[in-house]
Amino acid sequence: MENYTGFQRVKHVGAMTLAAVLLGGNIILSKVAADDGMTMRVMVAYRWIFATAFLAPIAIVVEWNKRPKLTWTVILQAFLSGLLGGSLFSILFYTSVILTSATFATAIYNLIPAMTFVIAVLLRFENLSFDKASGKAKVMGTMICIGGAMVLTLYKGLEVHMWPIKIDLLHHSNEATSHNKKLPGTFALGIVLAITSCICYSLWIVLLAKVSKNYPCYYSSTALMSLMGSIQSVIFALCFDRESAQWKLGWNRRLFVVVYLGTLGSGIVVILMTWCSQKRGPLFVSVFNPLILLFVALASSLLLDETLYLGSVLGGFFIIMGLYVVLWGKGKDMKASKFIISKEASQKNDLEAPQNQGGQLTGSAATIKQGMPE
C-alpha cells in the first residue's frame, strides 16, 4: 500500500471536498434554471453539450497514443452509458429535484451504492457471502438505507430552522410556474423519478466495469459517453421543446447555469474524481458522497427558501449510516481480494524460482562440459 505524506492526504481530501461542493452546486443551480423558465430537458441537453466540448480536447491531448481501436461493442456500451449515466439519469434526477426538493432528491441519491449492490447480486456479479462479515455488512447497510428512504418519504416532522436570515435566489416567475408547476401528486411522482434515476445510475456503474475493460481510457470513454448523452438528450428535448425561446441563451442566469453544469459540474468533477480514484481508490471517492447532501441541505435552506423538515434530517442520517456500512463491507472485500492476489503471485514466484535455479545450474554444467577436454 502506498504511503502518503500529510500534505498529500490533505490534497486528496480537499479535491474530493471541492468535487462534492461542485456537484451540490449542480443541484442548487438546476432549481435556479427551472425558476428562470428553463425546462430540465433543455438544461440537460446543454449540460452534456458543454461537457463534451470541455472533455473531448482533454481526452485527445492526455490519451493521444493510448486509445485502443473503437469497435461497435465500445460504441454500443458508450451509447448505454450515455443513456443510463447521462441523459436519462440527468432528466429523471433533475426533474425530481424540481418536483420534491433539492435536499430530498440528494438524500435519495445516496442510495446508489446500496442499489448497485442489489443489482450486482441480482445479475450475479457479486455474491451475498453471509458467512463473511463483509457480506453481512453490505446486506445490513442496504436495509438501513432502505429504512432511511422510507423515513424520508413517509415522515415529515417538525420544521428545522438553520439560518437567522434567508437569501432567496428564486424569482418565482410566471414562466417558471408554467413549465415546472407543482400539481397535486407531483411530490409522489418526484419520489418515483428520484428512485428510478438511482436505479439507472446503479446500472451504469455495473456497466462501467465492462466499459473500462473494453476501452481502458477514462477521459476518452467519458467524453464518448458525454457525446452520446448530448445526442440523446437533444433529440429527447426537441420532441417536447421546439420553441426557440427555450433554447435561446443570452448573458443571463441560463447561460451561467449550463456552462457551470458542463464545465465545473461535469468536466472538473470528472478530473478530480479520476485523480483521487487513481491515487486512493474508488472507495475513497464514494466516502465523500454524503458531503453533497450536507452542502445541498445548508445551501437550499439558505438560498432557495426551502423548508428543512425533521423527517429529511433523520432519513438522510440513516441513509448515510447505511452507506458507510455498505462501503465498510466493500472495503473488507477489496482488502481480501488484494491479499488473495498477492498470495497467488507469491506462490507463483516460489514455484518459478527452483525452475530458474535449475536452468542456471544446467547452463553452468553445459559451460563446464564445453570447457573440458574430450
**Contact partners, residue 217, CB within 8 Å, separation at least 6:** 59, 63, 66, 67, 68
Element (H, E) at 276: helix 269-280
Of 56, 210, 189, 221, the closest CA to residue 125 belongs to 210
Q: What is the pLDDT, as a whole number, of residue 372?
A: 45
- For residues 357 and 320, the answer to whether their CB atoms sit within 8 Å is no
DSSP 268: I
Spatial CA neighbour of 72 closest among 202, 215, 219: 215
pLDDT, residue 361, reads 42
Give Cα separations from 374 to 361, 363, 365 (angstroms).
Answer: 21, 19, 15
Task: Give me the numbers of helices (H) and strands (E) for the chain, helices first please.
Answer: 16, 2
Give the length of the chain: 374
Distance between CA 328 and CA 335 in Å, rounded?
A: 11
Q: Torsions phi, psi of 309, nearest 5?
A: -110, 155
Domain edges within the chain: 12-161+184-342
The neighbour count for residue 231, using CB atoms within 10 Å, is 18
| Phi-psi region at 129: left, alpha or beta (left = phi > 0; alpha = psi -120 to 50) | left
Could you tell me the sign of the dihedral formed by the alpha carbons of 148, 154, 158, 159, in that order?
positive
Residue 261 CA to residue 249 CA, distance in Å, equals 14
Rounded Cα distance, 374 and 371, in Å: 9
CA 142 to each of CA 31, 78, 91, 130, 153: distance values in angstroms, whole numbers, following the listed order:
30, 29, 25, 14, 17
Between CA 323 and CA 325 the distance in angstroms is 5
- The DSSP H or E segment spanning 131 is none
Q: At what angle do helices 186-214 and 88-99 cross, to 10 degrees?
A: 150
User: What is the residue-wise DSSP string for 190-248?
Assistant: HHHHHHHHHHHHHHHHHHHHHHHHHS--HHHHHHHHHHHHHHHHHHHHHHH---HHHH-
Residue with cell 457525446: 227
Is the entire prediction scored with pTM above 0.85? no
Determine the pLDDT at residue 163. 76
**Most distant CA pair in the chain: distance in Å?**
107
Give me the tens of pLDDT residue by residue for the chain, a chain 374 residues long.
456 677 887 888 899 899 999 999 999 999 888 888 889 999 999 999 999 999 999 999 988 888 888 889 999 999 999 999 899 999 999 999 989 888 888 888 888 878 887 888 888 777 777 778 878 888 888 888 888 888 887 888 888 887 777 777 776 554 444 455 555 568 889 999 999 999 998 888 888 878 878 888 888 888 999 999 999 999 999 999 988 888 988 888 899 999 999 999 988 998 888 888 777 777 677 778 888 888 888 888 888 878 888 888 898 888 888 888 888 887 777 676 665 555 555 656 666 655 555 554 445 444 444 444 44
pLDDT computed for residue 340 by the predictor:
59
Amino acid 180: pLDDT: 53
Q: What is the rounded radius of gyration, in angstroms, for the C-alpha atoms of the chain?
A: 25
What is d(CA 195, CA 109) in angstroms, rounded to the nearest whole number? 8
